[in-house]
Structure 1
């Protein structure tokens, strides 16, 4: 509006449209005009009697009710609206269109729709409604466009919506229509060109009547719970340009009827359970440019033939079961820019010179197959790559062809067989490099930080045999976000100026010494970014730097296995996001409770203070405010997400996932993806005394509890029976007395128990899983008796008998022995499943198998699906 000039005809102003015959203003586009405040009925807008359309989007209006004067309009648009959605909006009878997207502060229920033959467009995307979509939507019988993307509607979409026969565009994406089944009447919307139902929690099978919608150009059912086979009737949708069925539970084979979709540009079927071979007809579709089939069960050899008409640019087949060689015909797909074949069973040797034929190729992912890559002799003729991922490709030397790759932004050579020093020519790649992973090789020699790496964000060289110190040249790496030098032989002290932009610092398992400088937690902007700090398994001395309190986003602090000597850092409780705290195996001392500095970590999920010199007693309310552990885990284990960092780089996303070792069930276990799920407390091998606080029974998500090798006295709290998720309990080598509480029989997931070397007495509760543990779990309690101990219980009346099958009944506390037995079995199975998920390399994300900090590449397919589904 600042360009509106009085001396010029208003019909020439930006955003103003006039009737060419009458000269009256008929339309106003005032979007992005910095307007604010309410719109009143005496607004000068309403003196424009010829006005029919207005767009007020991306301003800052605060509507109470829409002025009735808007009734003369045929189109209404607005943005940044606040408060309750106005009830009178659908009573403006001349209205042809309502366009009010991106109003996150617009709340309330959507009012009932009044009968209207004029309203043709309703766009309410990205609003914050409550309740269900009104059934009265059927009154809008002239509606052609209905856009309700991410409006927070719940329940089921009304069946009447499938009766709006004039619809050409329907978007119900990202609402909460849990468990809803698409009806066959959907096939009556014969005029639809766009059907967008992604992330709606729809389930069951797709109706074959979808094949009736022959005008469809875009069909997005991305991220639902659809199952069964993909209907072959989709082959009738011959005008389809984009088909998104990824992230569902479709099974069976890919229907060959898709070969009829000659206008298809994008086909996304990834993250399903599809099996069988990939139909070769997909490579002959004349318009197909992007093919996403990753994360399925597709098997057999990859067959590509008759490609003369192919326009394929993106081929994404990661995480399947494809076998055999890479077909030579793939090298004739001349338009390819992106190829991902990672995590399959492809074998044989690849002569890298074949890629000279793909002159447009920029992104190549071959990791985790049984491939062997030989160095190309024609390095100068290769395309200029931007991304190369050769994780675990049996490479035994730095490929010579890299010398000419001066546009490379991401390179992964991790977990190969390279056993040498890093050649000097290799560092010339650093001009544009943003990501470099050399982890898990056998690199050796003195490492020098190359000053050319000014654009590097991820630098991973863990698990090699490199030596050296952190040199001043790293100060020029001003964009560095992830530094992982773990499990090498680096030494010296940590410089005070270490990276100002770091989010992940992992120096675990080296020979660093001296004190931990407090400056690294205050230098530049580092304290605003740090999420993970792992300095464990080094030789650091001195105190825990109190400057860590500046790191407000810190999630993990691991200082274990050093020689730190200090009292407990009470101030860590001020960090709002701290979830993992490991101070294991140091020389820390004193109490961990202070009557003034109240102790309670609101978000802590794992704490390990074992093998120190902590002492004192824990008051009864000690664990009362440990909120994160007190929350019940949901049934689908949704907390199984990673600690780390992810970042969008060009046409793909990179992810670094931190992992660490924890003690569980008497042995070491390595966790990556399940680290946020694994709730544990380890206070073992200290000098704590007094009674075990009963408040520990409030931590209902706790999986591992180890209080062994202390001086705890008194009885075992019966409240431990409330720890329904507990799998491992170790109270051994204390001074506990009294009987084993009957309530421990409630712990149906318990797989490891150690109560040995205390002064417990009386019978072990029988008929429960407690009497299935071995002698070593109970030894060293001379007054304890049971069938598995040398001391047998003489008075059998004091024992709890095992109920016969015909005597199974509910006890007073609400569980049956049958449930206990079943729970024990389930606990074993669930434990095994979680263990598999935790340690598996295969999931919808490709989690690499090496132990330690891990990088994961998020495939281009998902990014494009998410973007195009909007």
Structure 2
């Protein structure tokens, strides 16, 4: 009986305990209402969190969507309550799609006095100011406002909570911390362990008060605009695990000596600062160091062999400094190394030949150095290698077969490699970029078409030969760049460019390709650069290219294109075209007026409204860049442009058989920098509307049949550096002033009726103008006038005039003179026909 009573009382106790516990777990009504009001301030917008969370592998979702009236707020997503008091002690609303403004009078500041943790990171608060009301959270230990579009001045009140151990204001690119705010902030945060102010604009000298924060484990002052010398004592803080001070170009400092081998430093980031000096040999005492980022600084000297003692090292970035000497073979001790970037230094000599470690090396970037010799065998044997860049060095020899099947990028540009490139490389199914330009590789392009991931194929300036594979246009829909420029390829271009492809650049310049332009190129909807120049193509103008609305550069120069330019019927032909070079072909008929009319990308381009960017494509892994290359006659000289500005605008239709007048519409292309219509059969006057081309730097209308005067309005072309109007039939005075005072005789030679400086012929209004010339040589590449033809004509005319005068005023019979005159005229005709036949042969 007693035992039954005991059981009953135990049961009653457990029930009461459960009810009490359930009651204690319930959120208070006041806090529930406050949270619901806070929720109503925002809307849900996926992209408020997408870029900082989802793209980084952190799943984002609208956490406050689960907040409903009538339910316990302690059960809501992101809400943490104290088990004993039911008070909300934690709010984690990071990556929650919140989009709106946090007002200073928001309910969140007034009803949560027990809050310990507040995380609002990675939302979009619409450039809200950080409220001074954060000081109300007197028990706060962790505050994270990272990457949520806060702006304005950081109130010093955020440092008032005396228990704060973690403060993260990073990645809010509109925040500033003005003096003496930084000093006061540091002085208040006496217990802080994690201080992250990345991208907060501080713009002051680093406070020495940081040396008093002996509890610091993480300090991130990257991209803060720091000035002056960084206190080297901070490197020796006893608990400091992570130090990030990169992207402060005005911050000076040097590596201190690391005498203590028990330093806890694991992450050290100094990249893009003004740090200088040598790496001390004592760096080998940082036994816990896993990542060193020291690129784009001013370090110099050799790499100490003690670096091989850092066996925990995973990432080593020392690129773009002034390091010299050879890379030490002690690097083979870094068995955990995954990332090694040493580009842009002055490393010289051969690579170490005895490295047998590095089984985890994923990224190897040694570009832009002075390394010579051959690539050692250990590089080809790295089992985990994904990205390999050794471009712009002095390496030679043959390239062997790579063993890693993980390779995505191989960049060997600008070396002295020779021989056949191993065809097995093309079978790497993960390969996205193969960059071999400016070497001495030879042989045919023995591909299959298994490189289904290929996006960049750059083989320019080598000695590859043979035809290109038929599958080249269809085996990867993500193919961006095909650059076979300056090789010995021949044959026709496969008509296999599939719909939906991603080509942005196709450059086949300087080979022996022949036949017609494949019409399947019209499927390359994303194409920006098409260069088929200096080949043997024989075709009419590929008018269907006008449908490629992203095409910026079209080069067809030095081929056998022929026939008239078509009259376009498209609504927006060549919508984005900025460079058209059809020179040195056999085009006939009038200039393409309808194209000029629709070259919208050549009109009203304000240089001030555009950043000076190059036509380029970045590799997805940022290990390389591809700049589009352009060869064109610029200002009278053949120029190689290794980088093409997006605002470069030019037209070259020279060395063809175009005829007729220059269309008036060309005067609307007011953003053009270069216009070359020379060596054609153009007639009519030089347009006064060319004065509208205020950006024009060179104008070449030479070797045509242009007549009339040079328009005086052309003096307005104040950007004009090169002018060539030679070998035409121009008359009258040469414009004076501005740029015309800089042009020499060569600009006007062969126009006998021109006068005024720089020519010796003075313009005298009382002197009758010379008669218009009637003859011009057929060969456009030489002078339009020839004294061997003209002078006898003038002499004959003079003789004929004298004789006729004599006959008119004499009363005798002039039979003898008539015979003499007729003989002179017949002899003159013979000389003219003989000379004209000789010129036609040229």
CA–CA separation in structure 2 for the residues paired with 1:634 and 1:95 = 55
What displacement does 1:541 show?
0.9
What displacement does 1:734 show?
3.5
In structure 2, relative to structure 1, the CA distance for the partners of 1:662 and 1:142 (3 Å cut) is farther
**3-state DSSP class of the match of 2:530?**
strand
Once the two structures are overlaid, the 10-residue window that deviates more, 457-466 or 368-377, is 368-377
What displacement does 1:563 show?
1.0
**3-state DSSP class of the match of 1:361?**
coil
Mapping for residues 359-370 of structure 1, pairs under 5 Å: 359-370=335-346
2:419 corresponds to which of 432, 436, 445: 445
Write out per-residue CA displacement over residues 166-208 of structure 1, whole angstroms, 9 at most, x where no aligned residue.
476464747596xx67687887787594343536356897654
CA–CA separation in structure 2 for the residues paired with 1:279 and 1:141 = 44
Q: Does the CA contact (< 8 Å) of 1:555 and 1:577 recur in 2?
A: yes
Q: Does the CA contact (< 8 Å) of 1:366 and 1:393 recur in 2?
A: no
In structure 2, relative to structure 1, the CA distance for the partners of 1:317 and 1:148 (3 Å cut) is closer
Aligned to 2:508: 535
In structure 2, relative to structure 1, the CA distance for the partners of 1:147 and 1:406 (3 Å cut) is closer
Q: Does the CA contact (< 8 Å) of 2:203 and 2:226 recur in 1?
A: yes
Aligned to 1:776: 746
Once the two structures are overlaid, the 10-residue window that deviates more, 538-547 or 589-598, is 589-598
**3-state DSSP class of the match of 1:323?**
strand
Aligned residues: 695
What displacement does 1:549 show?
1.2
**3-state DSSP class of the match of 2:307?**
helix
Write out per-residue CA displacement over residues 805-861 of structure 1, whole angstroms, 9 at most, x where no aligned residue.
xxxxxxxxxxxxxxxxxxxxxxxxxxxxxxxxxxxxxxxxxxxxxxxxxxxxxxxxx
Q: Does the CA contact (< 8 Å) of 1:593 and 1:599 recur in 2?
A: no
Please give the TM-score of this superposition, normalised by the length of structure 2.
0.71
What displacement does 1:321 show?
3.2
**3-state DSSP class of the match of 1:258?**
helix
In structure 2, relative to structure 1, the CA distance for the partners of 1:694 and 1:201 (3 Å cut) is farther
CA–CA separation in structure 2 for the residues paired with 1:230 and 1:655 = 35
1:394 corresponds to which of 371, 391, 408: 371
CA–CA separation in structure 1 for the residues paired with 2:682 and 2:75 = 71
Aligned to 1:615: 588
Mapping for residues 372-391 of structure 1, pairs under 5 Å: 372-374=348-350, 376=352, 378-381=354-357, 384-391=360-367
1:278 corresponds to which of 254, 257, 261: 254
Aligned to 1:429: 403
Aligned to 2:634: 664
Query: Which of the pair has more CA radius of gyration?
Result: 2
Aligned to 1:3: none
* 1:116 is the counterpart of 2:107: yes
* 1:481 is the counterpart of 2:419: no
CA–CA separation in structure 2 for the residues paired with 1:775 and 1:152 = 67
Q: Higher relative contact order by CA 8 Å / sep ≥ 6: 1 or 2? A: 1
What displacement does 1:672 show?
4.7
Cα RMSD for the two superposed structures? 4.5
Aligned to 1:545: 518
What displacement does 1:454 show?
3.4
Q: Does the CA contact (< 8 Å) of 1:430 and 1:454 recur in 2?
A: no
CA–CA separation in structure 1 for the residues paired with 2:357 and 2:517 = 55
In structure 2, relative to structure 1, the CA distance for the partners of 1:216 and 1:381 (3 Å cut) is closer
Q: Does the CA contact (< 8 Å) of 2:226 and 2:248 recur in 1?
A: yes
Aligned to 2:37: none
1:495 corresponds to which of 469, 483, 494: 469
Greater helix content: 2
**3-state DSSP class of the match of 2:135?**
coil
Aligned to 1:21: 22
What displacement does 1:97 show?
7.4
Q: Does the CA contact (< 8 Å) of 1:78 and 1:101 recur in 2?
A: no
What displacement does 1:534 show?
1.4
Aligned to 1:514: 491
What displacement does 1:546 show?
0.7
What displacement does 1:518 show?
0.2
CA–CA separation in structure 1 for the residues paired with 2:642 and 2:114 = 53
CA–CA separation in structure 1 for the residues paired with 2:650 and 2:407 = 39
CA–CA separation in structure 2 for the residues paired with 1:19 and 1:756 = 103
* 1:356 is the counterpart of 2:332: yes
What displacement does 1:19 show?
9.6
2:611 corresponds to which of 626, 631, 638: 638
Aligned to 1:405: 382
Please give the TM-score of this superposition, normalised by the length of structure 1.
0.68
Aligned to 1:312: 289
CA–CA separation in structure 2 for the residues paired with 1:495 and 1:637 = 39
Aligned to 1:327: 304
Aligned to 1:558: 531
What displacement does 1:578 show?
2.0
In structure 2, relative to structure 1, the CA distance for the partners of 1:264 and 1:445 (3 Å cut) is same
CA–CA separation in structure 1 for the residues paired with 2:470 and 2:757 = 61
Aligned to 1:456: 431
Q: Does the CA contact (< 8 Å) of 2:89 and 2:117 recur in 1?
A: no
Q: Does the CA contact (< 8 Å) of 2:27 and 2:72 recur in 1?
A: no
Q: Does the CA contact (< 8 Å) of 1:621 and 1:693 recur in 2?
A: no
In structure 2, relative to structure 1, the CA distance for the partners of 1:141 and 1:359 (3 Å cut) is closer
Write out per-residue CA displacement over residues 405-437 of structure 1, whole angstroms, 9 at most, x where no aligned residue.
233222233344343333xxx315243322222
